[in-house]
Amino acid sequence: MLTIKLPYRIGSNQKGFAALANIYQQVKPCQFETIQLDFQNTTWFDANMLAMLGAIMESAWKNDFDIVNLRPEQEKIFKKTRYSYFGGESLPDHYQTTVEYRKTKVSEIGSFEKYLEKKLLAHPEIPSMSALLRKKIKESILEIFDNARTHGKCEFVFSCGQYYPRKGRLDFTVVDIGRTIRKNVRDYLHKNFSGKMALDWAVQKNTTTRKDNIPGGLGFALIREFLCKNNGKMQIASADGYWYERGRTSHSKDLNVFFRGTAVNLEFNVNDKSSYCLISEIEDTDIPF
């Protein structure tokens, strides 16, 4: 049996992504083993990061996982997300503090679209925006989902979110296990980019590794612009790279551990009381794009 002790805190940050990537590295070589994930020392786990943990556990599906020493308050939150480890056992989320955990086949983009509409974009704490802008943001997130099929070459996409009332934020994380952004950029540019260099290239407007003039990059332009105006945050972890942006300032760093996949986290600032719309439908009280 392999026992993995999780760290003190798993947050939506570089350390949190690296800690889960380290779990991936430990379970990757295992087959037909019992893997115990020990939460004894873990006092905080951002529920949206269950998307990454779920993807990692799914990637090692030939093993049996056992989650132990999970604190009651953590188990309660996990069950509110309907996290699949608990075999469908769930708790009602009366205050809508979570965005339901979901494992979606890449071929089922229509199902994911409905999930976004009902679980994320209809959340009462999502910043106010016009119906047209909401549609465009949905399309931007759908393109991130579609990257798993066109770029990641994987079978499933994992997603989960959490609303943090005291912190004034709502985080939504989308993860796939597949070809990394670094791998795709290296193959496309024929350059030996590091993970952070590949992310710097990939997030630029009008860059794409798709072939045969098929349109579409990472789909980040509109959602980045919105989160900048909203004073939210965006993060990406892929291969050995980590990138994040808040406002107009972005940074790329080494993740310091390899993750064979891509995780994207969108953080909405729910304390923002502005009303947003596209510039084509501007009114005096709105903030336009």
Distance CA 160, CA 84 (A): 11
Whether pLDDT at 281 is above 90: no
pLDDT tens digits for range 133-151:
999 999 999 999 998 888 7
- Is 72 exposed, middle or buried (CB count within 10 Å of its CB: 0-12, 13-18, 19+)? exposed
Whether pLDDT at 285 is above 80: no
| C-alpha Rg value of the chain to the nearest Å | 18
Which pLDDT belongs to residue 284? 55
Element at 176 (helix H, strand E)? strand 169-176
> What pTM, to 2 d.p., does this model score?
0.93
Q: At 164, list the tokens.
A: 């943090």
Which pLDDT belongs to residue 209? 56
pLDDT tens digits for range 219-239:
678 899 999 999 999 999 999
Percent of the residues in the chain that have a pLDDT greater than 70, as a whole number: 92
The pLDDT-based confidence of 212 (bands split at 50, 70, 90) is very low
| Segment of 46-55, 139-148, 247-256 carrying the highest mean pLDDT | 46-55
The more confidently predicted of residues 41 and 286 is: 41
CATH top-level class of 95-288 = alpha beta
Domain boundaries of the chain, sorted by first residue: 95-288
